[in-house]
Structure 1
Amino acid sequence: MFTGIVEAVGKIVALDSGRDSVRLGVSAARIAEDVSIGDSVAVNGVCLTVVEIAAPQLTFEAVYETLRRTTLGQRRVGDPVNLERALLTNGRFGGHIVQGHIDGTGRIASIRPVGDSWFVYIEASQDLLRYVVTKGSVCIDGISLTVMDADDKAFSLSIIPHTWENTTLKDRHAGDSVNIETDIIGKYVEKLMGGWAPGGGRGVTLDLLSRSGYIESEPEASRRW
């Protein structure tokens, strides 16, 4: 698990593409000093496993499903990437719950400076936007960010100078694709509240809550549908 607090910006120094996979070599600066083979590292928000270490370079493998759902297949040698090691149990939880499991990609519609900050507008599909809420959390390229506003086509973010200077956001432009991981809590709540349940049921419903004694049932005639 991660928190979306980027520890360092690395650089892709090697790419070895296979038929349905890619092997990435990343110059990882100080991140490489405290990882082992098999450790998880979020690379632009994608949870990848360290398969080789030649400090300061780390090597990862990304398979077809990862390439299909993320922007990793679009990256080139020389591109910067956000890096975060997995959260230690005694570490500070500075961002929000981030799994490193990308839900899909979005497109930067525009970036504009406003005072000392930058407003970033990101367009995404309805499947992703349903989990993006105003003042909620979202992970963009591995960065834990607060949603400034959201509608049915896009959402906006206000980026403070520290985040701008210490992540890959300063290298992004309108039209660029970004990895998006929505808040896992929202997805669990949707499922429990009736999106799906084993055996074809509807999960937690008003009827179930009433029968379980959590709410007082109403006479049939007084119900409004």
Structure 2
Amino acid sequence: MFTGIIEDVGIIESLTPNGEDIRLSIKIQKLDMSDVKLGDSIANNGVCLTVVALSNHGFSADVSHETIKRTGFAAYEAGSKVNLEKAMQANSRFGGHIVSGHVDGVGEVLSISQVGRYVEIWVQAPDALAKYLAEKGSITVDGVSLTVNQVDGAKFLLTLIPHSLQETIIGSYQVGTKVNLEVDVIARYLERLMLGDNAAHSSANSPKKDISMAFLAENGYLK
């Protein structure tokens, strides 16, 4: 479990093929690794990876075929930078929002505008994620906990403060940059919960129901 507060920007030293998987070696810059051991989790651009090897200057992790398929890792190469966050501790400050490290889709940067000291970025999300985007709601972009400030269909607007631009890879974004997206986990569970008893049936055998006022009333969410 993570919070979306980035602790360091790492550099990919190598990506070594291992069958259909990849062994990823990351060089850290300032991340405190004194409490990290084999088997611990570290988020890399929002992707939860397991530490399988430690070195004097970083760590290695295996990236599965499934992860490569669902994230931006397919486009990464040696020299690429990644946002790093160690798994949160129960006694640490919760500065962002609940982040699982399970990417829901890959978005694309549509525009970048300087507005005073801030930067506004429009991102195109996959159409399937549009229903999870809410104005003033939370979203994780490359592992960074951010607030959605405006929504237009499957597009959403982010406003970045100078600190976020300096301490993460977001400051290097360009139009066309692909980004890992994770929607609010509460929205995902709420959607499943609202299916009620229908959740027990295979989607292949059950008619798809749209969420409507009638559906909410039928399943006891309205009185």
TM-score by length of 2: 0.89
CA distance in 2, matches of 1:115, 1:34: 40
Q: In structure 2, the residue corresponding to 1:127 is in which secondary structure? A: helix
Task: Give the superposition deviation at 1:183.
Answer: 0.4
Q: 1:166 and 2:167 equivalent?
A: yes
Q: Which moved more, 1:15-24 or 1:36-45?
A: 15-24
Q: Which moved more, 1:44-53 or 1:75-84?
A: 75-84
Letter in 2 for 1:20: E
Task: Give the superposition deviation at 1:140.
Answer: 0.2
Q: Which runs of 5+ in 1 are unaligned?
A: 216-225
Letter in 2 for 1:209: G
Task: Give the superposition deviation at 1:149.
Answer: 0.4
Provide the identity percentage: 40
**Deviations 1:128-163, CA, capped at 9 Å, x for gaps:** 121011100000000000001012131010000000
TM-score by length of 1: 0.88
Q: 1:90 and 2:105 equivalent?
A: no
| Number of residue-to-residue matches in the alignment | 212
Q: Structure 1 pair 35/198, CA: closer, same or farther in 2 (3 Å)?
A: same
Task: Give the superposition deviation at 1:208.
Answer: 4.1
Q: In structure 1, the residue corresponding to 2:148 is in which secondary structure? A: strand
Q: In structure 2, the residue corresponding to 1:163 is in which secondary structure? A: helix
Letter in 2 for 1:150: V
State whether residues 33 and 55 of structure 1, in contact with CA within 8 Å, keep that contact through their aligned partners in structure 2: no
State whether residues 194 and 205 of structure 1, in contact with CA within 8 Å, keep that contact through their aligned partners in structure 2: no
CA distance in 1, matches of 2:160, 2:104: 22
State whether residues 28 and 57 of structure 1, in contact with CA within 8 Å, keep that contact through their aligned partners in structure 2: yes
CA distance in 1, matches of 2:77, 2:173: 14
What corresponds to 1:141 in structure 2? Answer: 142
State whether residues 142 and 179 of structure 2, in contact with CA within 8 Å, keep that contact through their aligned partners in structure 1: yes
Structure 2 counterparts to residues 62-81 of structure 1, below 5 A: 62-81=63-82
CA RMSD of aligned residues (A): 1.9
Letter in 2 for 1:8: D
CA distance in 1, matches of 2:18, 2:54: 20
What corresponds to 1:103 in structure 2? Answer: 104
Letter in 2 for 1:79: S
Task: Give the superposition deviation at 1:207.
Answer: 3.1
**Deviations 1:65-106, CA, capped at 9 Å, x for gaps:** 000000112111111110000010000110000000000100
Letter in 1 for 2:220: L
CA distance in 2, matches of 1:10, 1:53: 14
Q: Which runs of 5+ in 2 are unaligned?
A: none
Q: Which moved more, 1:27-36 or 1:162-171?
A: 27-36
